[in-house]
Structure 1
Amino acid sequence: MLPPAISRRTMLVLAFAGAHVLPGAQAQTTVTQVLAGGVTDIDYLNSAAVLGKINAGYAYAHKLSGAGVTVGVLDAGITPAHREFSDPGKILPGFNALDGGSDVTDHVGHGTHVAGIVAAQHNGMGTMGVAFGASILPVKVLGDDGRGSSQALDRGLRFAIGKAPIVNVSLGAENAYSPAAMKEAAQAGMLIVAAAGNSGAANPGWPARFARESWAGNQIIAVGAVDASNRIASFSNRAGDTAGWFLVAPGVNVLSTWMNGQYATMSGTSMAAPVVSGAAALLKQQWPALSAAQIANILFVTATDLGVPGIDPIYGRGLLNIEKALQPIGTLTTTTLNGRTISVLSGTTQVSSATTRLLGLATTGQLRVVGLDGFQRDYQVDLGRSVLPPAGLSLEQVFGGMDRRIDVAEHVLPGGGELAVAYARAPARAGSLFGHEEGRGGIAALSYVAQRPDRSFAFGMGSTAGNYFGAGGLLPQQGLALGSVTALAHPYFALVPGAAHAGFARRADDFGIKFGVLSTGADRTLDAPDIWMPPGTGRQLRARSSLVELSRDDGHAALALSFARIQEASGYLGSYASGPLVLANSAYTQALQLSGAVRIASGIALAGQASYAATPGVASDAGLITGVGTTRTNAFSLALIAAGRFRPHDRLSLSVSQPMRTYAGMMTMDAYTGLDDQGSPTREKMRFSMVPSGRELRGELNYLVPLRAAASVGMTLMLRHEPNHLADAAAEKLLALRYLAPF
């Protein structure tokens, strides 16, 4: 028979396995431990058997404590005078569900112990709760003999509705009872964390076992206990038929608060449940709009699997893991302004010399946005990590340039045509300065020019347009090969890399006019670098250009004025992107260039060029950058060239140049920046200048000389001041010497 005081009601009893009371304000140890963030802390050490097992330090390193969250503790009451509950607002006015009064004094110790596991203060005086900054709503549903009734529990639950989003129920019933009050609590959005019971049974006891009911709406978590080795405690009820809603947490020899200012070590699922309640409070603090079901599901899917892989009848979902619970679940996404969902962690952005402002924004942390995980939780993401700088100075780059300048075969064809073919060498052995490993070479570039006194026609593949147009096409009869000087390449031809070209020119006296077109995609059969799929973009590069050039050349000096229109179909000013930082799906640029060259002595010339361009503004819905205004860019170069001065067929060049640089333009980014009070994402429009912080000046000295028996010597000295147009970037220097000879 049931005791008379609880006749006709289901009996509720405390669910702890035993207690060992410890006197003193600081428990039994004076050893300190260094937490994440460098905090030396006795509270953490005394509670480390619990906090370390559940990876709570991750939350504390991110400034989470449960502050602002109330956890209802439906138990035997509390000892509010304990030093661990002394902060104002730590213990809220409670309710005695046994007599309807407000006296919630704990005369058993159990409620005080449970409350300390949830939220004991972080004050260096003994222990600390999992959510040490949370508030406790004490609800006394068990008497001084540790017994109560389902009626008292129901009254306590109803009292807590609207006052505490999370309640801890570390007690057990002898059998099932009417869940009406629990249904009301669940419908009101409450998360109920219930101890599974200490009978060593195959299934949880009540009320924890109600978690499996459909009306519970995934808002009841049943909690079992594990020992220091993460083995299910001998006394703990198992997951059984409630496995999908069952977690385990440390519940053996747990140190926490006790009556009369003391501390006690206790064991039981009563100790494991408040560990989970504290974890739920940490989630609620970080994301207040999370529903009870969402919090429970997050804790379920992030638990550390124990026992048989997957959800099993012993450990259920597994061991509570706060670190994983606070990390993103699923893909972090955002939406573009037109509502298209994209991943904020996918894709890369390869900037060009004209778009290095993105690199500057990246390095200064100004490209931070918010992404939402599968539970619509907000996480700050630094999009700058996906921004790749242009290639820096490298031996491979320099040696490749030497090879292209040396390995050129020129042929004069019948009728006055000239054919030039550049060969690609096999890759050099790693770490070797001499020779090449065996491998297939191939044609890297070719050009054909048919000359007539009054006209010419040109065709080429593999970035040879610079030999015919601009400064590279001036003084063609002097044997100076201005087109082989990198600094004199038309800067806007870089927007159509590797292009095939065709050109036609007419001359009358010293004056001439040229027409030309360039297009990517026509020379894929050449053994040239892979320019067709920029890394990480997932798109084929496509661009084309048309130009007209007016020139005057009297054989000693030449001047040319050209106008080019470049259409990019898969990039913006030479930059390529996929993911959130796509500048534009396409762009067209109109460039004006003035080029000049003068022969100052036999085999010596001075040449230079200045270019200005405008790229009209574009709107984009491909990523978070919603538009780029009209962008204005420029570039210039000056070079001194000498041929055959020291040895036959040698070439010397000294140049200074500014790569393509933006000097006017703005871009707009529209992105999530957080969540409002209802948990809905908020957007912010951000405007950034496209003008970089610095100006790159590049100096280059090249000397190449062919030797006998197909041997050659090359030397290059390169200097970059404020590389990539970043004012705070360190200067880059490179000196390369190379000797090549067949064996």
Structure 2
Amino acid sequence: MMRWGFVGLLALVACAPESSRQSQSQGQACPGVIAGEVATRQGMDGNEPSREPDDGRTATIIRFRKTGSTRASRVTAAGVDLARDVGAKVSFVYRNIPAVAARVTPEERRALEQSDLVESIEEDQSWSAQGLAPGLLPARVGAVAQGVLPTGEYTEALRMVQAPEVWDADGDGVLDVGAPTGEGVKVCIIDSGLDLGHPELQGAVVASRDFLDGDDDVSDRGEGGKWGLGHGTHVAGIIAARPGQGGVTDPKSHPGGMVGVAPRAPLLIARVLDLQGQTQMSIVFSAMEWCESQGARIVSMSLGGGTPTRSSLEAFKAALDHGMLVVASAGNQGGPVLYPASDPSVVAVGAVDPHERRAGFSCVGADLDLMAPGVDVLSSFPRGMGAFSQMAVSDTEPVSRSLLFSPTGNTAGRLVDCGLGDSLDACKGATCDGFVAYVRPGALPIDLAMSNVMMQGARSVIFGADDGPAGGDVDILALPRRGHWVPAVSVNQATGTMLRQRLGGHAWVNLFPVDYTHSSGTSMSAPFVSGVAALLWSARPELTPLQIRAAMQASARDLGTPGRDPVFGHGLVRAKDALQRLP
């Protein structure tokens, strides 16, 4: 999910069900123009859900009754036989809780409920990614806003959590000998899989499992090789991008790319999110047990949804009792902390911007533990799926940011005011010879505004914010993954004001592919805390998960009301300060 500054908080466009919507506006369209989403046969674009189709069965978690000290695994073994005897389709069998995941018909469910062995039958809830929210263009327009790293590969967000102060105390750009780097501390990322060929992550992954397809290929891809959302690749880079192993960057960035919070931490990759960013609670439970079997000390989950159940409470408690610290994103709805971040056994992480202000989308409440960078975070992205933007209008070269999933390309033409892009006559003075459209996002969905201006001949589109305080932020928006689009960028309010003064002038927009992107969301915040925990454990491997959690909480930078509060929790996680608070 993402924060939409113009149209309210909506689900990520690329994660939402995509229809073959066409503009209903009035006006004239240029002949032969193809614009917007294109109807495709399901599966043609590889973006269908990876879960089982609707077959008349309901996804459930069947709990079996324990007696005395009987181990959960023995109870579950008997329950598996019962479930299969009545015809249930068992998908996962658990060790830590007396339960199985199974798809059942109404008749099979009634038969199971009549058995003395069955304690309860729970709904197998749907959970989803808490990002990838396309990055915000900061009000402080400058080098950092365009992706330049303050020193080498050290991003602004990395410095906010003090990671370089732990493993590069002298600031020479080289890991200090003997410093905590996360080495030997396995971090299990339960997410969408990742681009295994990304240079930043070479040598980082030590084991992997795809819980959707039942194999060891955790590439974030579907049929036909189509990429998913890139969510897991972005998360993995935040935690453990290797120094000096950069991919393709923009001309203004360090050629080494960026470095993660724990640059020597070994990663375990559990793919649970499908190509639309969705999963089931049962799949996450199975992934957690796999993480445990692989020796994980930390589980990083940038996903959530649903409500606690007896099985979920037991599953997360078992993970904690067995030595794993589970870290989860608090959610992007701005309301109460989502589950499972709100689980008492889980560390809930909210988002702050580069100025240490709470991000407006970040969830709040008594369950909030820590805050971490979650606005405009630079990290790895599937190779070539990121886009760096350059723009010139008349005598200026304003800062811009590409829309997530925008096509790349080099375009030029007269800058035309297209208003809200809400009709086929919105672009005043447009011609079918081509132009660059300036659009003020409003209530109309971004994809429909794009379709409207493209039908009038736009070769590229600039989305600008015209309302709000001077220098205010503007969301970088996302385009649907399928369909025909032109290059599109976003600019902040100050730049939008300047562009309106140059309407009619010559504009040039160039987007070219890179291996990184800026993104926002609590999905980005949780891996910062996971990385800090890995640094602490690499310094003191004998400590318990509760001791690691307590050190991060006690050392966090207090950002709100003194002490823990429902807006910032304990405050901003700080790696160096936490090391000094270890028992």
TM-score, length-scaled by structure 1: 0.39
Q: Comparing both structures, which one devotes a greater share of its residues to strand?
A: 1
Task: Provide TM-score, normalisation by structure 2.
Answer: 0.49
Structure of greater Rg: 1
